[in-house]
Amino acid sequence: MSGGAVAGPDGRLRCPWGLSTEDYVRYHDEEWGRPVRGDDALFERLALEAFQSGLSWITILRRREGFREAFAGFRIASVAAFTDADRERLLADAGIIRNRSKIEATIANAQVLAGWAEGELDALIWSYAPDPAVRRAPRTVADVPAVTDESTALSKDLKKRGLRFIGPTTAYALMQACGLVDDHLADCVARGGRGTG
């Protein structure tokens, strides 16, 4: 998939990855690359990107509601209070990815973030958003990086503050998903938040 935007069933051009399933079309058109703000909302994206590591995003997307239910809506304070019984419950929950390391990291990250001031996670993550004026719109999928200087710096900063399972590639996926960067291809209908409505 090194090509440019591809016409979907409706004739509109989209990023090629956004056309493989109906779930992806909806996610691509309505969510990916749109700004996400708020500590709990960003914690959810951090957790889901960590769970996605080594897997296809569609696996996570299709289980997202299960994750939300299992992790108390990703409210930082609630997840930080999870007990050993919650850990066992999560390991038995077929509605999520039952990876002990990722479950432990999510709970540990919530415990770290519970000690932060309100808005601190949001401010920290968004402080790494590059200036959109100096970023050229990617013409093809091959033009979209997997890691950037900003994602490497964000990863280091989060790790330094005690967060786990957030390497530079995961940090960049977070930046893409949460609108810190707009990696929709130049000809994509969703570029710049244009959407498809």
Q: Is 27 a catalytic residue?
A: yes
Element (H, E) at 7: strand 6-7
Collect all residues with Cβ–Cβ distance below 8 Å to 196 and sequence separation of at least 6.
10, 12, 29, 30, 189, 190
- Of the candidates 24, 32, 44, 49, the residue annotated as catalytic is 49
Phi, psi (5° rounding) for residue 54? 85, 0
DSSP state letters, 42-58: HHHHHHHHHHHTTS-HH
Is residue 169 within 8 Å of 147, Cβ to Cβ?
yes
Query: Catalytic site residues?
Result: 27, 49, 57
